[in-house]
Structure 1
């Protein structure tokens, strides 16, 4: 199992470092006016939301549809009315907070070829839609995602550091798998676009809002995982545009609540220790110098395997290398989170 893991790491490294995104076409058949942006939100106010709205509007989509809850509807309308581009924004609401139902409430109102879902705390680069639409020039592609970085705080703390590394590892994995065979574990709901007719299929809408775990626990989270699985099961290809101009900025918890997010994402603890034990047993007849050399080589390889996926972060922020031991220790602690997640699979609302 470990041999497979490390072989996969080597292959992924090569794939990640040689990845090239789908280039912008000279004569695109799709433009930003073919895109409707749907943003489910609860509060719909604050500086983060205002930045999301302004950067989305800057890309010049056909329109933006906001879906909140009834209790926040009038407040959100008041916020939108203050925008110079309020005529391009429509606001709707549902009775209770439920991201899947908020998304589906907006879908029948979309008239453009492409529907894009975005979270209410993302900041887009100006040309992100150009890069997303470039992938849709290939008719077999039904969904397109982007790469992500954490919005770095003025005074980053350990929680923010761990959150940044989480996104760094994710960028590494999805760029590698996309390059290898076009596969991706999940098109993140922070920003992902789809062909509208796929999402407006009544079968999709019903399945999306009636997904159950063990036949009795209705799932309200993991909307992006469901849509990604739908793309695969219905023979649509997916793609991730890993490129600086398609790189959004987002927020994650910068306090102990980050652990709650880790639990939601988790839903190996002894592997490295077992490797060290087996090495000790198989080299017990070696001289002490050779045994220590072998152990050092193994530990170095373990360190490299944990460091290589997050190398890009330390290139951008070299001072953070002092926190590398925190990342490694958290990796082992995260194993305990996975164990807890396994024994709490009936908790579907996190």
Structure 2
């Protein structure tokens, strides 16, 4: 169900009012200001309320929207497009010899697309891809899989090359680009890699956010078309640090009169419980289906806080564009041989 514009714009404005509250109330309090120019006193209670509004308004809007407005799109009985006639999947890879490559391609073939275009780097890697695809072709004899290569490792150029292949033959009306490597695969399966490559991937993704989100926030067109997303996605992604946010909330609570009077112990317990609960909401459907996985909650919460340091490192090195865990010079040298 689409959200009515009569509700969408007020929600978007309210989101940015929460930002204004944090900037004009919480930030001055942290800087030592205790009275604004109009004589309005700044207290820890007001600073805590303003910061909580900023942190959790998005949580409430997204949660209620999911519960009452979200409706999955079902496949129609007579779809306008079908995978076997209209879908081309482009798979850029620099590691076709890795086991993830075979699992990903097997997953894609199981969905029966019209064609799969694998784009790798150099003739030697092209041959590696052909060898890796041999068992896939035997398992899926009807799959239409092509392998092409370019001269240098560059995911954007690899995808572009795949599009060129698609449009030169002028078939397959829809194209899906599958990002594939030993550590990430987004078609059919989700293999995010093992330590330490997974952490390297996290840093790479966060660096991308710190480079691209500010550009979106400066786009007038994006503001006109997606005002809520500017607050709820673009700004939130680069400002949500669990360690800093939770730590700041606890600090502000400890400055309140409730705590000073010795009556705020249970309030602190409730605040900590609330902060942990908000981090677990997304897991509820999964834990409902797989309750035994509840034993992993401590590790999940630990990583949620550790991720703040990953984001901070990404922020301080956002200009680094290298692929995580990949030796591009070695790959390019091999492509030239």
Deviations along 1:229-267, one digit per CA (max 9) or x if unpaired, are: xxxxxxxxxxxxxxxxxxx32101222332212211222
Taking the aligned partners of 1:286 and 1:81, their CA distance within structure 2 comes to: 71
Q: Note the C-alpha offset of 1:276.
A: 1.5
Deviations along 1:99-131, one digit per CA (max 9) or x if unpaired, are: 111111111221221011123479xxxxxxxxx
Q: Which position in structure 1 is the counterpart of 2:52?
A: 2
Q: Which position in structure 2 is the counterpart of 1:325?
A: 298
Q: Which position in structure 2 is the counterpart of 1:271?
A: 245
Q: Which position in structure 2 is the counterpart of 1:282?
A: 256
Deviations along 1:274-315, one digit per CA (max 9) or x if unpaired, are: 211221221347653x31121122111111111112223333
- Is the radius of gyration larger for structure 1 or structure 2? 2
Number of residues of Structure 1 aligned to a counterpart in Structure 2 = 229
* 8 Å Cα contact 1:44-1:120 kept in structure 2: no
TM-aligned CA distance change 1:75 to 1:287, over 3 Å = closer
Q: Note the C-alpha offset of 1:189.
A: 7.9
Please tell me whether residue 117 in structure 1 is matched to residue 177 in structure 2: yes
TM-aligned CA distance change 1:39 to 1:325, over 3 Å = same
Structure 1 gap segments, 5+ residues each: 123-162, 164-187, 192-247
Taking the aligned partners of 1:58 and 1:117, their CA distance within structure 2 comes to: 16
Q: Which position in structure 2 is the counterpart of 1:305?
A: 278
More deviation, 72-81/105-114: 72-81
* 8 Å Cα contact 1:36-1:63 kept in structure 2: yes
* 8 Å Cα contact 2:254-2:260 kept in structure 1: no
> Aligned-pair RMSD on alpha carbons?
2.7
More deviation, 56-65/39-48: 39-48
Please tell me whether residue 77 in structure 1 is matched to residue 134 in structure 2: no
Q: Which position in structure 2 is the counterpart of 1:59?
A: 111
Q: Which position in structure 1 is the counterpart of 2:147?
A: 91
TM-aligned CA distance change 1:328 to 1:282, over 3 Å = same
Structure 2 gap segments, 5+ residues each: 1-50, 208-240, 324-337
**TM-score, normalized by length of structure 2?**
0.61
Taking the aligned partners of 2:259 and 2:148, their CA distance within structure 1 comes to: 72
> Of the candidates 13, 23, 29, which is equivalent to residue 80 of structure 2?
29
Taking the aligned partners of 1:254 and 1:61, their CA distance within structure 2 comes to: 29
Q: Which position in structure 1 is the counterpart of 2:230?
A: none
* 8 Å Cα contact 1:35-1:113 kept in structure 2: yes
Q: Which position in structure 2 is the counterpart of 1:48?
A: 100
Q: Which structure has the highest strand share of the two?
A: 1
Q: Which structure has the highest helix share of the two?
A: 2
**TM-score, normalized by length of structure 1?**
0.59
